[in-house]
Amino acid sequence: MFSIRLTAVALLPVLSLHSASAANLLRRSPSKGQNAIVQLFEWPWDSVASECTTFLGPAGFGYVQVSPANEHITGGQWWTDYQPVSYNLTSKRGSRAQFASMVSKCNAAGVGVIVDVVLNHMTAGSGVGIGGSTYTKYNYPAVPYTPSNFHYCNGNSAAQISNYGDAYNVRFCELVGLSDLAQEQEAVRKIMAAFLNDLLSLGVAGFRIDAAKHMDPTQINNILGLLTAPFYNTKEVIYGANEAVQPSQYVGSPGDIMEFRATSSLQTYFSSGIAALLIPSPMGAAWGFVDSGIANFIMANQDTERGGTSLTSKAANNAYQLSGIFILGFNYGTPTVFSGYDYSSSDQGAPQDARGLTNAVTCNSNGWRCEHRWNGIANMVAFHNAVGGAALTNIVAGTSQQVAFGRGAAGFLIINNAASAWTKIWTTSLPAGTYCDIIHSNNTYPTTCNGPLYVVSATGMLTASVARYDALAIFTGAASPGTAPNTSASANSTSLLSSNLLASSSQTSSGLPSSSSASSSLPSVTIATAVTSTTSSPTPVSTAVTITFMQTASTASGEVLKVVGSISQLGSWAPAAALPLAPPSTGNAPWTLTVTLPPGTSFAYKFIKVASSGSVTWESGNDRVYMTPGAGTSVTLYGTFGLTGSSTSAVTGAGPATTAASSSSSSAASSPAASSSPVSPPASSSRAYTSPLASSPASTQAASSSLASSPASTQATVTFKESASTTSGEAIKLVGSISQLGNWAPASAVTLTNANSVWSVTLALPPNTAFQYKFTRVKSGTVSWESDPNRLYTTLGQGSSVTLTSTFR
């Protein structure tokens, strides 16, 4: 809702909800595969053009919805855009030439442009428009409209809508005093059609029809019937219980209908329990909403965020980002995500210059929020494009705030809106393979997914732990490391799209909780009146993790010690594919093997003794379990054959990225709060990773941490070695999510000791404990955080000793 204020008159709230969807003249939803829409609210044309080229196209967005392009009244309030003065293409956002250039550039990037159009009404007063056209209420020479072209609500020119139980009152009286156009007049319809055809001639893909609820659907059809090129459209028809005008009355009109009940349902159930969005029946037509094929499902827009009828970017516990992840992963309607700006009053428009023109957009600066660039939202566009229209499958709930579902054999999504981690073995319909979690990928386009890797077994089983207020999404387009979908079409069509997995620009997303915020690296761009990113790209690091196994074992003559495990690099539990360790150099030395593994990968493993005859002896006890830390890390795993331990630890997924970019503040707000302690996965009668091996003596295998060779110690020893060049007086410190690392408080960070630019510290930490951490530079009280994402590690069992080697990011 918003209120329009004129010089001397305060008018009533207006429900003019602006978002986007698209429908071809002969189709009810976008015809191309990439149909995700982003509403760039009040963005100027040059900034939209740059965003299409540098971000939206590569991200896989199919459409961008822009604010009204035609001349409107002047003023700093956002709602001035929704009081037309003429249909000349001059607005706060730029000239006709700038608009045409923007459309051309967006089309070349594979992003269709949807324009918000106001056909229901003109202004509430008199004056001079943003383009210099003079007007009075009911008289608009630049169109031209005269007083005879308007409704007067039973002859009373001052009458406003007063009864939503009366369809005539809703459609023929004035919406908060705005002069109400008479679309039943042929002359009016022809003028409106000429305006829309002008937009189409410039290459526009379609329209979002503002205040369609206040127009007769028959007359909307008559106007659209005069258009001369294919187009998309969606209509703003706000549901009201027991009202005379309902969304269902617009079903016969070509195009989509904005389903605000779905939007408000996100707000309701992200508070009371998201499982209800799918159980017992998934949200959609079964709930009385318009059919999915004609629904435009928006996460929010400028009205709902101001009117309190949707989640907002400031919602607690990452709920806003999780809701965006949900609508892009769910299978209801055409999704629209919203990108707005900060405001101190509900009327406040986007930042303007002295001429009343909108300033260029710089994300995360001057109030521009750029929510569409948050990792979880931006990267889920690739998931949405990959799963297409695949049906919902494998729906499961944990608590009322935990839900997971598949999209057939194409993808699987887990959303944990609870305050503790969710660890489970899920049944999916995915093919067996190694999958990349797209939500936590922070690669810059057009490269590939570099999020944590997860293994789906031959029976479709997925073992993972999702942190509190976080999510995990995998799909077949990113089924193995170093691969990503890449779909493209001719640059001559608005249906073209080059879709690559990516992360959002190099800014820290605002409004995210500390446990799961989004940041990544987009090359810095500086273009006049264009979007610019505010930080530089991170230095590339190694994409692999080096793991050294050091295992003490007594062997018979001719026996060889080997390691075998649940991932392909360790033989996928096949003894014939097991990796041999090098024998000890002396009698008491351990067997050793060094391998490179993908980062962020959970796996189970065991050691076996293989005799010269080929017979295999498995070590007894539970499977050992480990998750590799971040890229470029080196880890040594110590243990003794047969001492696998009895305590279990979670197979954890990667932690969320943090908001901790470079900071001049030492407050805890610079970094995330700790994720909750991991939950132990249940024991199983078969391996959680593959089918059980007949040759293994243990018929029941539960995930377990490896024990080091010195079981007497009750702690796990971890040595951190960080390569970092520093200036005089600068120190490297370590801070993380557990008390031993300061609980993310920079003042409690652990100081490392420098030796030839390698900073190190050895700590005794609790065994079998998952934690997140980062390194900081501290000089004269100023703290600078290394770039995202958080590093993640799970300590081994009692008495273990591990060295983590890495480079400051």
Asked if residue 318 has pLDDT above 70, the reply is: yes
What pLDDT, on a 0 to 100 scale, did the predictor assign at position 449?
85
For the beta carbon of residue 132, count every other beta carbon within 10 angstroms. Answer: 12
Q: Report the CATH number at residue 383.
A: 3.20.20.80
| Domain range for 66 | 2-387
For residue 664, pLDDT over 70 is answered with no
Which tokens is 421 given? Answer: 């981690």
Query: What 3-state DSSP class applies to 213?
Result: helix
For β-strands 750-751 and 37-40, DSSP reports them as unpaired
Predicted pLDDT of residue 129: 98
Among 106-120, 226-240, 701-715, where is mean pLDDT lowest?
Answer: 701-715
pLDDT of 610 strictly over 80: yes
Cis bond before residue 789 (omega within 30° of 0)? yes
Who contacts 396 (Cβ-Cβ below 8 Å, separation ≥6)?
403, 404, 405, 426, 427
Q: What is the mean pLDDT of residues 247-275?
A: 94
* 297 falls within a domain: yes
User: Each residue of 187-209: b (16+ CB within 10 Å) or e?
Assistant: ebbebbbebbebbbebbbbbbbb
The pLDDT, as a whole number, for residue 730 is: 94
Instruction: Output the pLDDT for position 385.
Output: 94
* Six-digit token string for 423: 């660890």
Q: Is the pTM of this model over 0.75?
A: no
- The answer to whether residue 403 is domain-embedded is no
What pLDDT does residue 623 have? 80
- Does residue 679 carry a pLDDT above 90? no
Across the range 755-760, mean pLDDT stands at 91
Domain presence at residue 514: no
Q: What is the pLDDT of residue 447?
A: 55
Whether the Cβ atoms of residue 142 and residue 130 lie closer than 8 Å to each other? no
Residue 458 resides in a domain: no
Determine whether 236 is an active site residue: yes
Of 51, 180, 210, 305, catalytic = 210
- Whether 583 has a pLDDT exceeding 80, the answer reads yes
Residue with tokens 């079981």: 711
Stronger pLDDT, 652 or 425, i.e. the higher one: 425
Domain-terminating residue out of 355, 387, 419: 387
Contact 653, 466 (CB under 8 A): yes
Better-predicted residue by pLDDT, 374 or 645: 374
Question: Residue 648 corresponds to which amino acid?
Answer: T
**Percentage, residues of the chain above pLDDT 70:** 77
One DSSP character per residue, 399-422 reads: STTEEEEEETTTEEEEEE-SSS-E
Closest by CA to 118, choosing from 42, 212, 197, 37, is 212
The predicted pLDDT at position 771 comes to 83
Give pLDDT, residue 599. 78
The CATH number of the domain holding residue 550 is 2.60.40.10
Per-residue pLDDT tens over the stretch 284-307: 999 999 999 999 999 999 999 999
- Residue type for position 466: V
Per-residue pLDDT at 405: 98
Q: What is the mean pLDDT of residues 758-770?
A: 89
- Among the candidates 387, 408, 435, a domain finishes at 387
* Statement: residue 18 has pLDDT above 50: no
- Does residue 108 lie in a domain region? yes
Residue 169: pLDDT band by 50, 70, 90 thresholds?
very high
pLDDT digits (tens, 9 = 90+) for 773-806: 999 999 998 999 888 667 878 787 777 788 888 8
Catalytic residue among 174, 236, 259, 786: 236
Please report the pLDDT score of residue 158 as a whole number: 65
Looking at residue 442, what is its pLDDT? Answer: 81
Pick the closest to residue 364 from 554, 524, 548 (CA basis): 524
Identify the top-confidence range among 283-292, 572-581, 669-678, 721-730.
283-292
Can you give 331-377 as a three-state secondary structure string? CCCEEEEEECECCCCCCECCCECCCCCECCCECCCCCECCHHHCHHH
Band (10; pLDDT cuts 50, 70, 90): very low
Per-residue pLDDT tens digits for 204-254: 999 999 999 999 999 999 999 999 999 999 999 999 999 999 999 999 888
Structural domain contains residue 483: no
Mean pLDDT throughout 355-373? Answer: 95
Is residue 430, in this structure, part of any structural domain at all?
Answer: no
Tokens 């055409």 belong to residue:
334
Which of 334, 362, 387 is the endpoint of a domain?
387
More confident residue, 35 or 495: 35
Average pLDDT value for the chain: 80
Tell me the mean pLDDT in the region 382-386.
94
pLDDT the model gives residue 597: 87
Q: Give a yes or no: residue 654 inside a domain.
A: yes
Question: Using alpha carbons only, what angle is made at residue 135 by residues 131 and 140, rounded to the nearest 5 degrees?
Answer: 95
SS3 string of 487-498? ECCCCCCCCCCC
Q: Which two tokens stand for residue 9?
A: 């008159």
Cis link prior to 485 (omega < 30° from 0)?
no
Higher-confidence position of 296 and 486: 296
- pLDDT at residue 406 greater than cutoff 50: yes
Domains identified in the chain, total number: 2
Which of 228-242, 521-535, 537-551 shows the highest mean pLDDT?
228-242
